[in-house]
């Protein structure tokens, strides 16, 4: 019955459905959806992984739904039985979902202990937050290598950057909020940077994709806390983009996957997660175009955000309100 409803929902135009997806794609030849993946990752990154999965599991068809991290968490929490697999870059939200009992256990003993939590939440990428610059629009100004460099650059040339600086809107983006809170936790520099960015009228984005688009088109000179993986992919096609990992401390996020406790296809969902972890470990960029897991970095300051209950700290209502208020005070100055 659920399949039929789902099928009707899928066959009707997107505007007819209550949920607006950033992207929605069907893989596989079969008419019946046998696996529904709710993800915050652009389809282009996951298409080869899903194709590979279908190649080894014929008669499987996969529905891949993309939405922002914050929206993803809300959608899944509201209907955990509609989705089989949940993939998100917002580690804190994923961890809270797992903590609250939305994830089903999977035995994955080959997977490193630090990259899984409670046998239910599995990290499968290591992706640093980066400063991305459009070299063309930056002109002759020096390329900043750290947050401090960026602060000085913005302070020194406020007119050059007015309205041409971008970052995440932490109120809309779960990943943006995670990056911001981890940044703020690590250093006071974050607040000074936000203040400076607020002074030059920073533009706020919900997602990395739009930010990178605006950068490429020259609307932005610099974007802060952009997902390095997305930016690098764009930089391959556009020579103007320059991805810089802040030399002081790059915040590194791990993309995580979980299987819904109420999944309609638990066995297929589990085999998909196993498949995902396997191709991650194999590390063939044709099949797994995302940056693979890294445990140890050359730069000692760079560390993955730990998968532990402390991630829920900034999800606390009061703490979130206080953080957002402080953030708004720093960056939103043109109201």
CB of 119 to another protein, least distance (A): 7
Binding to another protein by residue 109, rule CB under 8 A? Answer: no
Segment near another protein (CB under 8 A); pick from 32-40, 55-63, 214-222, 314-322:
314-322
CB of 100 to another protein, least distance (A): 8
Binding to another protein by residue 318, rule CB under 8 A? Answer: yes
Give CA–CA dist 245/25, Å, rounded: 32
Binding to another protein by residue 77, rule CB under 8 A? Answer: no
CB of 79 to another protein, least distance (A): 18
Binding to another protein by residue 107, rule CB under 8 A? Answer: no
Q: What is the 3-state secondary structure (H, E, C) of the chain?
A: CHHHHHHHHHHCCHHHCCCCCCEEEEECCCCCCCEEEEECCCHHHHHHHHHHHHHHCCCCCEEEEECCHHHHHHHHHHCCCCCCEEEECCHHHHHHHHHCCCECCCCCCCCCHHHEECCCEEECCCEEEEEEEEHHHHCCCCCCCCHHHHHHHHHHCHHHHCCCEEEECCCCCHHHHHHHHHHHHHCCHHHHHHHHHHHCCCEEECCHHHHHHHHHCCCCCEEEEEEHHHHHHHHHHCCCEEEECCCCCCEEECCEEEEECCCCCHHHHHHHHHHHHHHHHHCCCCCCCCCCCCCCCCCCCCEECCCCHHHHHHHCHHHHHHHHHHHHHHHCCCC
- Shorter beta-carbon distance to another protein: residue 53 or 76: 76
Binding to another protein by residue 328, rule CB under 8 A? Answer: no
* Residue of 27, 45, 117, 190 interacting with another protein (CB under 8 A): 117
> Which tokens sit at 42?
């652009």
* Residue of 119, 213, 240, 328 interacting with another protein (CB under 8 A): 119
Binding mask 86-105 for another protein (x = CB under 8 A): ------------xx-x----
- Shorter beta-carbon distance to another protein: residue 2 or 185: 185
Maximal CA-CA distance, the chain: 63
CB of 308 to another protein, least distance (A): 4
> Which tokens sit at 278?
């396997």
Binding to another protein by residue 8, rule CB under 8 A? Answer: no
CB of 334 to another protein, least distance (A): 25
- Shorter beta-carbon distance to another protein: residue 267 or 319: 319
Binding to another protein by residue 317, rule CB under 8 A? Answer: yes
CB of 75 to another protein, least distance (A): 21
Segment near another protein (CB under 8 A); pick from 79-87, 237-245, 247-255, 307-315:
307-315
Binding to another protein by residue 205, rule CB under 8 A? Answer: no
* Residue of 152, 306, 324, 333 interacting with another protein (CB under 8 A): 306
The residue assigned the tokens 């992919």 is 233
Which spans of this chain sit near another protein (rule: CB under 8 A)? 98-99, 101, 116-119, 185, 306, 308-310, 312-313, 316-319, 322
């Amino acid at each position: 019955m659920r399949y039929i409803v789902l099928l009707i929902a899928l066959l009707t135009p997107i505007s007819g459905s209550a949920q607006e997806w950033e992207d929605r794609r069907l893989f596989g030849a079969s008419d019946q959806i046998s696996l529904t993946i709710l993800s915050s990752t652009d389809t282009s990154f996951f298409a080869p992984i899903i194709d590979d999965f279908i190649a080894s599991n014929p008669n499987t068809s996969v529905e891949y739904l993309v939405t922002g991290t914050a929206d993803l968490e809300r959608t899944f929490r509201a209907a955990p039985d509609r989705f089989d697999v949940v993939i998100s870059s917002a580690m804190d939200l994923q961890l809270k979902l797992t903590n609250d009992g939305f994830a089903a256990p999977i035995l994955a003993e080959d997977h490193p202990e630090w990259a899984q939590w409670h046998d239910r939440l599995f990290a499968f990428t290591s992706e640093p937050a980066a400063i991305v610059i459009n070299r063309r629009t930056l002109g002759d100004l020096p390329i900043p290598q750290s947050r401090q460099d960026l602060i000085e650059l913005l302070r020194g040339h406020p007119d050059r950057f007015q309205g041409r600086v971008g970052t995440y809107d932490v109120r809309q983006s779960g990943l943006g909020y995670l990056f911001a809170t981890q940044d703020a936790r690590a250093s006071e520099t974050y607040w000074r940077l936000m203040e400076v960015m607020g002074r030059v009228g920073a533009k706020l984005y919900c997602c990395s994709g739009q930010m990178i688009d605006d950068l490429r088109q020259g609307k932005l000179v610099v974007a802060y806390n952009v997902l390095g993986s997305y930016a690098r992919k764009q930089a391959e096609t556009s020579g103007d983009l320059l991805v810089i990992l802040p030399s002081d401390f790059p915040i590194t996020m791990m993309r995580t996957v979980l299987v819904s406790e109420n999944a309609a296809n638990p066995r297929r969902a589990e085999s998909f997660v196993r498949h995902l972890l396997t191709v991650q470990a194999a590390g063939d960029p044709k099949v797994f175009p995302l940056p693979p897991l890294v445990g140890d970095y050359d730069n000692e300051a760079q560390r993955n955000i730990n998968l532990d209950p402390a991630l829920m700290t900034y999800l606390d209502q009061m703490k979130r309100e206080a953080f957002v208020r402080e953030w708004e005070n720093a960056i939103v100055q043109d109201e």
